[in-house]
Amino acid sequence: MINRNEWVPADNFFLEQKASYSVKSMENLLVIAGPGTGKTEMLAQRANYLFETGICKEPYNILAISFKKDSASNLGERVKKRSSKSGDYRFDSMTYDALAKRVLDQFRNGLNITIRPDGDYLVQNETKLSEMVKEASQSYLLNSYCVNKTWREFSFLNPTINNVQKKLGNLMLHGTDKLQANLSYHGIMQLAIKIIETNPSIRYAFQVAYPFVFLDEFQDTTDLQYKFIKTLFLSSPVVITAVGDDKQRIMDFAGARKTIFLDFKNDFSADELHLSVNHRSAPQIINLQLSMYKSLQEDYNEVFYSGKWNKNEGEISLIQSLDDYEEAKKVAQDIMEKIHQGIKPNEIVILVKQRAEDYAPLIIDALKEKGIKARIESDYQSLIKEPLVKIILHSIMLSSTTSYTEDWQKYLSLYMESQGISDVEDERIIYDAEKALNEFLKSTSLMLNNKTTVKKLVQCIIDFWTVDFFQTTFPEYLHGSNLEETITSFINLMELEYQSGESWTEAVKSFVGDNSIPIMTIHKSKGLEFKAVYLIALDDNAFWSFKCNPDATRRALFVAISRAKQYLTFTFSESRFTTKHPGRQTHVLISEFYELIKRFVN
DNA sequence: GGTGCGTTCCTTTTT
DNA sequence: GGAACGCACC
């Protein structure tokens, strides 16, 4: 155990003074972490500090709550990397919904019998929820919009006001002979809140188990999530570190609570503190960000450049064109030059405000002519995250190598789990499992060398692991046609990669995106960083929301520009081809944005 | 089946 | 702001 005065950041990481203060704070804190200020690192170092100094000693834990599975596992990984004693950390990193579900599943009996759901409820099965709404309203005349709205807005917390809602509530909790109980994510969190509200001992148990809580991307917290946090931890000794940036609050439309920072400071008597070293962007890009502060109503403007940049580094440009065809050509040319300078395709991003599929085709074609791959990233990302796909990709990669890597270890322990032999110490059983797995990989390897089809290969891998294994380990594959759909869309996309690639290893690398330029919406790029950012269509059509919600739209622009490390390119085209009108629509460059960038454009 | 008018959506995650 | 859809009317 280290004395708290002698603790130094893990891996000799440099922490700015205020980051260091946040790491060691014993009070509730709101850490405003602007783009690139290293919030994940700060939280990981804080976890290290609390563990290493014994401030958070056994059996106490740290709870980190994120919105997305991605962020939750990234933070968990970073903490693991920063902790010296591997394995000896008590860091629970999970999403809001995972936490709520855990509360509900573990303490379901703490609910009054009238609102206690069946144990085997489905999680937001939308088709079946729609059937429930129809059943409850005894009408098949509702349109799908009304049906969706009804179950989405149903609340277990507010008293039911009419018979249809009463009936729907009961259907969700208990189902019928034909329909299984079925709760929305919203509903699960409401029931979790009810459990904590009505059972002080459960609330107390959480507070004791987790004396330290981290809240990630705090600016996006919804009313319900905040209520959940308050129910669990308000007026308790638990020390909460909330990290976020109001300038990057771009989820208002999805219900992010606008006053969250103020509310947290008041409710939890939290101090506010700003991280001010931007480790990501070159000075010129940071200067552009700073020039937006006034319009973002940000008073605090102390931002320091990272020492790795010279003062003049960072390039901002505007590509203007007469039509979108010319624009695509110019963008492709510019990207090709960047690639020739040695920038890798996956260090470049093409951003659009909304509807990537409307803007992508011309640019994809123009890049293709130059031999550069680009793709709408979300089509692939949802698939890459599927556990089934991960296992298939691992099977292919491990068949092509013979080294006993960390990946192989993970693959092996998953296999042992699938055989129901996860916690054995008998060396022989482990040896047998290794042998079986190696034989399987050998046979797969033979298939790969014999130029098998993707379909046959996938079938073979699934047969080995068995459908039953996938369905028991990952319950999302149990219902509907999730498993079938995942397999089909994987085969389709993977076939494209295999046809154009030279080897299976290359095809897998391409599939996970190592060789192509991602195209995505600004919202999807939140939290990511790229060496070069191309923001397509700085016009009043793409940014139509500027007229009805200028603040949120300014923040979206801010998120977009703050993804860039070194190169930032905007495009504007006077006309764009639309499917319906063979004539061309003219568009106007948003003048406020143009005024903002023109001082920085070379 | 064309047209004209009104309405809705666009930007998202979660076991 | 405009694409896409449903609906009434011819």
Angle at A316 between CA A314 and CA A322, to 5 degrees: 160
Upper half-sphere CA count for residue A177 (Cβ side, 13 Å): 0
Q: Bigger pLDDT: A120 or A414?
A: A120
> A534: closest CA among A273, A282, A293, A333?
A333
A69 closest-nt by C1' vs CA: B14
Contact (CB, 8 A) for A65 and A306: no
Residue A540 Cβ < 7 Å to strand B: no
- Strand C and chain A: which residues 515-554 have CB closer than 7 Å? 540-541, 544, 547-548
Give the CA A583 to C1' B4 distance in Å. 20
Question: Under a CB-based contact definition with an 8 Å cutoff, are residues A257 and A263 in contact?
Answer: yes
Question: Within window 363-392 on A, which residues have Cβ closer than 7 Å to strand B?
Answer: 378
**CA pair distance A153, A175, nearest whole angstrom:** 18
The better pLDDT of the pair A97, A498 is held by A97
Chain B bases having any atom below 7 Å from a protein CB: 8-15
pLDDT digits (tens, 9 = 90+) for A387-411: 889 888 888 888 877 666 677 777 7
A248 CA → B6 C1’, Å: 35
- Residue A529: both structure tokens together: 């960083």
**Statement: the CB of A120 is under 7 Å from strand B:** no
Q: Model confidence over A518-576: pLDDT tens digits? A: 999 999 999 999 999 999 999 988 999 998 889 999 999 999 999 999 999 999 998 88
pLDDT at A63 over 90: yes
* Helix (H), strand (E) at residue A457: helix A454-465
pLDDT at residue A530 in the model: 97
Q: Does A117 show up as a binding residue in the annotation?
A: no
pLDDT at A344: 95
Residue A250: both structure tokens together: 């771009």
Nucleotide nearest to A544 (CA to C1'): C1
Between CA A411 and CA A85, with CA A422 as vertex, the angle to 5 degrees is: 75
Tell me whether strands A304-305 and A348-352 are parallel, antiparallel or unpaired.
unpaired
User: A557: which residues sit within 8 A by CB, 6+ positions away?
Assistant: A292, A522, A535, A543, A593
The pLDDT score that the predictor gives to residue A430 is 77
A577 against A187, higher pLDDT: A187
What is the mean pLDDT of the segment spanning A338-342?
96
pLDDT digits (tens, 9 = 90+) for A169-219: 999 999 988 888 999 999 999 999 999 999 999 999 999 999 999 999 999
Containing H/E element for A374?
Answer: strand A373-376
pLDDT of residue A587: 84
The tokens describing A555, both together, are 């923040």
Consecutive H or E run containing A380: helix A377-384
Give the distance, in angstroms, between residue A289 CA and nucleotide C9 C1'. 54
Q: What is the pLDDT of residue A354?
A: 93
Name every residue whose Cβ is closer than 8 Å to that of residue A314 and which is 6 or more positions away in sequence: A281, A282, A283, A284, A285, A286, A287, A566, A567, A568
Would you call the peptide bond into A59 cis, given omega within 30 degrees of 0 as the criterion?
yes
Enter the tokens of residue A436: 């079986």
What size, in residues, is chain A?
Answer: 602
Nucleic strand B within 7 A of Cβ A483: no
Indicate yes or no: strand B within 7 A of the C-beta of A25: no
**Separation CA A560–CA A540 (nearest Å):** 16
CB A565 within 8 A of CB A597: no
Q: How confident is the model at residue A139 (pLDDT cuts 50, 70, 90)?
A: low
Q: How much is the pTM?
A: 0.91
Q: Where are the alpha helices (DSSP H) in A210-298?
A: 223-233, 260-267, 283-291
Residue A338 has what pLDDT?
A: 97
- pLDDT for the residue A87: 52
Annotated binding-site residue? A586: no
Residue A602: how many CB atoms within 10 A of its CB?
A: 7
* Ranges A82-86, A189-193, A242-246, A452-456: which has the least confidence: A82-86
What average pLDDT score do residues A242-260 get? 94
Among A548, A523, A579, residue whose Cα is nearest residue A356: A523
Number of Cβ atoms within 10 Å of the Cβ of A140? 8
The reply to whether A585 has its C-beta less than 7 Å from any atom of strand C is: yes
Q: Residue A577 CB closer than 7 angstroms to strand C?
A: no
User: Over 80: is that where the pLDDT of A289 sits?
Assistant: yes
**A361 in a known ligand binding site:** no
Nucleotide nearest to A184 (CA to C1'): B14
CA of A553: nucleotide with nearest C1': B11
Helices (H), A6-125: 17-24, 39-52, 69-82, 96-106
A38 known member of a binding site: yes
The reply, when asked if residue A35 is annotated as ligand binding, is yes
Q: What is the pLDDT of residue A2?
A: 85
